[in-house]
């Protein structure tokens, strides 16, 4: 297994562990580098995390003025669309905290063309991190699909083989739509990578990704192996039941 598996009793405990990781990473990054760069994930499990971070108890523990928000993947839909990852985070978190709008770096989906959106977002990242070397996000939150995908790196999609680009636009046959996604090299450069995995429906795929044979074409989450950073799998008991030692 690559990384560390941490198991929470249930979804509520999982969200608390994730919020603690977010808060601690933010404090350390701001203290050391003057800002905290985080790439967010879509999905139901992160949604409940963002709602928790927006509550008064957690809101006051984070210096939002120094947090820079990015998205690890996005759908090619307007920001008002129900499927927009940006819209979900805006609704659950950003609208409820005091973060400068200049610190919110979303995919420019209004460009409409997936390749143009991806290229523009890559340039945005390079402008903010510097063009030399691979950008290093302080924290990247990731989900795990029942088919083994993470971000929008789906089984057998062309993005799995990308080694130079930071962001790509991908046609994903499985969902019959274009997806925008960080590439594996950009994710693997992160300082802290945290998977959030919840529910019995994820038990088999988590076991396969962590302990099964390496087959990243079928299980793209296996591509995630940080170069120098830390990888943590935060899972509730239902999701982790097959991956735990007997």
Number of independent structural domains in the chain: 1
207 in a structural domain: yes
pLDDT score for 44: 84
Instruction: Give the whole-angstrom CA distance, residue 109 versus residue 177.
Output: 14
160 in a structural domain: yes
Mean pLDDT, rounded, for 42-57: 94
- Hey, what are 107's tokens? 């995919």
Closest CA to 168 of 177, 106, 178, 223: 178
Least confident of 40-49, 112-121, 201-210: 40-49
- Residue 65, domain CATH: 3.40.50.1360
pLDDT score for 231: 98
pLDDT score for 132: 78
Closest CA to 151 of 228, 42, 18: 42
What is the sign, positive or negative, of the torsion defined by CA atoms of 76, 18, 226, 245?
negative
229 in a structural domain: no
pLDDT at 127 over 90: yes
Contact between 89 and 107 under an 8 Å Cβ cutoff? The reply is no
Position with higher pLDDT, 132 vs 119: 119
Contact between 36 and 26 under an 8 Å Cβ cutoff? The reply is yes
122 in a structural domain: yes
pLDDT in tens, 211-231: 999 999 999 999 999 999 999
Contact between 233 and 202 under an 8 Å Cβ cutoff? The reply is no
At a CB cut-off of 8 Å and minimum separation 6, what does 90 contact?
79
Q: What is the residue range of 200's domain?
A: 4-176+195-217+236-240
Closest CA to 179 of 110, 92, 122, 109: 109
115 in a structural domain: yes
pLDDT at 246 over 70: no
pLDDT in tens, 148-207: 999 999 999 999 999 999 999 988 988 889 999 999 999 999 999 999 999 999 999 999
81 in a structural domain: yes
Instruction: Give the whole-angstrom CA distance, residue 130 versus residue 72.
Output: 18
């Amino acid at each position: 297994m690559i990384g560390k598996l941490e198991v929470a009793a249930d979804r509520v405990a999982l969200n608390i562990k994730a919020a603690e990781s977010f808060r601690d990473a933010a404090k350390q990054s701001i203290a050391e580098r003057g800002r905290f760069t985080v790439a967010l994930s879509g999905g139901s499990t992160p949604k409940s995390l963002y709602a928790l971070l927006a509550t008064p108890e957690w809101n006051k523990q984070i210096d939002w003025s120094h947090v820079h928000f990015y998205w690890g993947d996005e759908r090619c839909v307007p920001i008002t669309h129900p499927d927009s990852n940006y819209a979900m985070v805006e609704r659950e978190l950003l609208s409820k905290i005091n973060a400068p709008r200049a610190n919110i770096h979303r995919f420019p989906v209004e460009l409409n063309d997936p390749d143009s959106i991806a290229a523009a977002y890559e340039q945005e990242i390079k402008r903010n991190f510097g063009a030399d070397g691979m950008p290093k996000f302080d924290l990247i939150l990731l989900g795990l699909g029942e088919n083994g995908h993470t971000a929008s790196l789906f089984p057998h999609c062309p993005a799995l083989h990308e080694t130079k680009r930071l962001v790509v636009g991908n046609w994903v046959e499985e969902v019959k739509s274009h997806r925008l996604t960080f590439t594996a090299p950009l994710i693997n450069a992160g300082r802290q990578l945290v998977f959030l995995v919840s529910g019995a429906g994820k038990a088999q795929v988590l076991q396969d990704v962590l302990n099964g044979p390496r087959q990243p074409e079928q299980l793209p989450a296996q591509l995630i192996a940080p170069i120098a950073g830390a990888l943590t799998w935060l899972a509730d008991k239902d999701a982790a039941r097959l991956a735990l030692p007997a």
